[in-house]
Structure 1
Amino acid sequence: MNKLLFRSATLIHPESKFHNQVVDLLILDGKIEDIAQTIDVNGDDLEIINAEGCFISTGFFDLNANFGEPGNETCEDLISGTQTAVAGGFTGIALQPATEPPVHSKAGVSYILNRTSSYLTDVYPLGCISYNRAGKDLAELYDMKLAGAIAFTDGTSPINDSGLMSRALLYVKGFGGLIFSYPEDTSIAGKGKMNEGIVSTYLGMKGIPNLAEEVSISRDLYLAEYNESKIHFSTISCAGSVELIRKAKEKGIQVTCDVAVHHLVLTDEALSGFDTQYKVRPPLRTQNDVDALIAGLKDGTIDAIVSQHTPHEIEFKDVEFEIASFGIIGLQTALPLALKAGLSPALIVEKMAINPRQILHLPIPGFEKGDEVNLVLFNPEEEWTFEASTNKSKSANSPFINHKLKGKVLAVCNKKQFYYQQ
């Protein structure tokens, strides 16, 4: 990327004087050379992209992405994972520590940072809360923070020990750390495979009730309030959870939360055919929950939208529903699904680009002259088919494979690198 002109794009950036305006954006050597309603420039080395009808914003940032490396590179390695992220419009990701071995020491954090330092997408490792994600002893939180861990989580392994969670919240407070809580009381969830409700009863499947999530959120809110510490809830899925967090925010508790994008468009009725591609954790809930999640996004209760990208090899999904693994790939489908949920481009940018960085206290890339370029260009109306030829992931565990989707990422720029797809 040397000299590049985006022509007639609608800019979404609340801090810019050109917010919600159609602009031309000139980029030279990875920096913004000029931004105006019209830029008159030419030259043999100039590449012009017609962005009429498209939106341009700070690149998306995902708070919840899972790759396999180290240990499970066959499902997704750091190279394929970040290439998938770029194709989805993400210039930054917070990488879950659920690898083999888990990222529970400064060595694991340093490995990821060193391996990904030159990639277009910025990768921020999340460190484990507990050693080996076992939920018994605190991991090397401060050492990992010094090495570059952006926050701490055990992924989808809930911290069931209330004392351990309380100590983690108190400990990270001393150095400005942040705990990501995956809210699930496993003693209530048991061996459930889907949402507990009418559909699970009809199918004869063990269900995971909303109560498992809501009890866990209630406990952690009390612990965060007691320790006067910040807490972030990952992938909430229930109407009751939205209400609990809404009241906690009104009370002044330092809480943020996110929702997985597939929970905005799918319900447990999708499991009627026992299709393992719809098997996720937390499980798909009811339409009432979906409506509450969307309302929570619009009123500010839910701060961010995540992909919860969870790749699996075919042998972990092409099996009986009971033993199939939880999770779907989601980096490339995040934008189309958010649009399908009825969210506006401005709200999508807020929840997928601005707020995730604010939660992690990262700077928000801007659009002033001289700024380093960090952007995504997308067309909310363009249709494309998510299939083998367009899937950048090593895995294909998605219910949206071979489906036509509306909303396409056209270009991504970051760290003087440029990605463009017709």
Structure 2
Amino acid sequence: MNLLIKSATIIDPHSPYNQQVVDILIEKGIITKIAPELEADAELVEAEGKFVSPGFFDLNCNIGELGLETKEDLHTGTAAAAAGGFTGIALMPNTIPPVHSKAEIEYLVNRAKRNLVDVYPLGAISHKREGKDLAEMYDMFLSGAKAFTDGNRPVQDAGLMERALLYAQGFDALILSYPEDTAIAGKAKVNEGEISTILGMKGIPPLAEELMIARDLYLAEYTGSRIHFSTISTTRSVELIREAKRKGLEVSCDVAAHHLVLTDEALLGFESLYKVKPPLRTRDDVNALLKGLKDGTIDAIVSQHTPHEVEFKDVEFEVAEFGITGLQTAFSLALLAGLDPELIIEKLAINPRRILNLEIPSVTEGREANLVLFDLEAEWEFTRNNNKSKSYNSPFIGQSLKGSILLTLNNNHLYKQ
């Protein structure tokens, strides 16, 4: 496949052509020439006023395969990823069976080969994600697992987390912590505060998240290990991680795109599509998250793509499952939050790969073409027709969003709008 992208502005801090308007010639999946004016026998893509960057990478993606393919399978999940500009995704182990041995890792790696979207399954920290015994972490690492997490289940046992941090250190693997103290959070469904009082619902206090972050920071400091916190959501969480970085701890963290634009006020209509975990917080928390992204405290933005069948979301708020689909809307939500394009590329494309010690693509001559073309100003409507996911549990379906993905290219495979 040969492609000539005309008059695109490159956003890529690692490219010598960063911020320049150029033509990009791609031949058989390789960027062979970048210059102000090019002519070639290739498919022409007019991109004046549009932008090219390295393809996005999602650190927190849930796809039902294995066992929950009615929610999402690799085919539909990677289609949604490509439509959202993602050329790589890290899969959470929240499946049945969970991804807790090399058999599941090898199955997913082999199933996803030669796809437009690179797939990196994350292994579970504990056997069956039960939080009791360590899973076969080293075997999974040898089979392709880049990091370990119990997904949407926090590791409640401090001793188990300490052992996981020490064990992973031996082969330079990364532990991802989902920070929630379940004894504090209980069975509550929403953020504790004014809105939960109005709704008459028991709330999850920010303390539930912050206690676990404080604990795991102490453990990481004690063991001298790297640690990454998934989907932080509160002001104090940002402050704790900011202070840990000042002290020199090897800590990183991410935030879900929807937590940058939504607050718990969205729940006033008891709409279950807004039911996520961690729960939507307050405007002050959103402002703290945005500040954390801008000052470097928060390293990455994730989709937290969590598809569900209709019967799990189109029900009363109290019994609905947590989660929304997010692969196709993450970029637009980052723009809606008011973030600069350069910062978005850093948080969506560069840092996620750096966190997992993956090769970072670049829009540079001689490199494999792993890139996305987007229009910052174009508005598009997210509908059930252009939704590529098998599920449609997104509160943004039917809404007009800014920031259109025009083309995604990787592994010599092309998605084009």
Relative to the length of structure 1, the TM-score reads: 0.98
Residue type at the aligned position of 1:414: N
Query: Once the 2 structures are TM-superposed, how far is the Cα of residue 37 of structure 1 from its aligned partner?
Result: 2.0
Question: Is 2:10–2:363's contact at 8 Å kept on the other side of the alignment?
Answer: no
Q: Map residues 33-182 of structure 1 onto 2, 5 A cutoff.
A: 33-39=32-38, 41-43=39-41, 46-182=42-178
Query: Once the 2 structures are TM-superposed, how far is the Cα of residue 47 of structure 1 from its aligned partner?
Result: 1.0
In the alignment, structure 2 segments of 5+ residues that lack a partner are none
Q: After the TM superposition, which parts of structure 1 deviate over 6 Å for at least 4 consecutive aligned residues?
A: none
1:227 aligns with 2:227: no
Q: Which among 285, 289, 295 is matched to residue 293 of structure 1?
A: 289
In the alignment, structure 1 segments of 5+ residues that lack a partner are none
Q: Map residues 18-417 of structure 1 onto 2, 5 A cutoff.
A: 18-39=17-38, 41-43=39-41, 46-417=42-413
Residue type at the aligned position of 1:23: V
For residue 8 of structure 1, what is the aligned residue in structure 2?
7
The superposition leaves residues 211-249 of structure 1 with CA deviations (integer Å, 9 ceiling, x where unpaired) of: 000000000000000000000000000000000000000
Query: Once the 2 structures are TM-superposed, how far is the Cα of residue 368 of structure 1 from its aligned partner?
Result: 2.5
Query: Once the 2 structures are TM-superposed, how far is the Cα of residue 53 of structure 1 from its aligned partner?
Result: 1.3
- The separation in 1 between residues aligned to 2:198 and 2:365, in whole angstroms, is 59
- The separation in 2 between residues aligned to 1:15 and 1:387, in whole angstroms, is 35
After TM superposition, the structure 1 stretch with the greater mean CA deviation from structure 2, 363-372 or 257-266, is 363-372
Q: Secondary structure at the match of 2:215?
A: helix
- The separation in 2 between residues aligned to 1:400 and 1:313, in whole angstroms, is 17
Relative to the length of structure 2, the TM-score reads: 0.99
Residue type at the aligned position of 1:7: K
Question: Is 2:379–2:404's contact at 8 Å kept on the other side of the alignment?
Answer: yes
Q: Secondary structure at the match of 1:156?
A: coil
Q: Secondary structure at the match of 1:321?
A: coil
The superposition leaves residues 270-327 of structure 1 with CA deviations (integer Å, 9 ceiling, x where unpaired) of: 0000000000000000000000000000000000000000000000011111110000
- The separation in 1 between residues aligned to 2:143 and 2:119, in whole angstroms, is 13
Q: Secondary structure at the match of 2:24?
A: strand
Residue type at the aligned position of 1:212: A
Q: Secondary structure at the match of 1:387?
A: coil
- The separation in 1 between residues aligned to 2:264 and 2:100, in whole angstroms, is 34
- The separation in 2 between residues aligned to 1:15 and 1:329, in whole angstroms, is 31
Query: Once the 2 structures are TM-superposed, how far is the Cα of residue 367 of structure 1 from its aligned partner?
Result: 2.4
- The separation in 1 between residues aligned to 2:6 and 2:239, in whole angstroms, is 43
Query: Once the 2 structures are TM-superposed, how far is the Cα of residue 42 of structure 1 from its aligned partner?
Result: 3.6
Residue type at the aligned position of 2:21: V
Residue type at the aligned position of 1:88: G
Residue type at the aligned position of 1:10: T
The superposition leaves residues 183-214 of structure 1 with CA deviations (integer Å, 9 ceiling, x where unpaired) of: 00000001110000000001101100000000
Aligned pair count? 417
Query: Once the 2 structures are TM-superposed, how far is the Cα of residue 17 of structure 1 from its aligned partner?
Result: 1.5
- The separation in 2 between residues aligned to 1:103 and 1:360, in whole angstroms, is 18
- The separation in 2 between residues aligned to 1:385 and 1:332, in whole angstroms, is 11
RMSD: 0.7
Residue type at the aligned position of 2:35: A
- The separation in 2 between residues aligned to 1:368 and 1:302, in whole angstroms, is 27
- The separation in 2 between residues aligned to 1:317 and 1:378, in whole angstroms, is 31
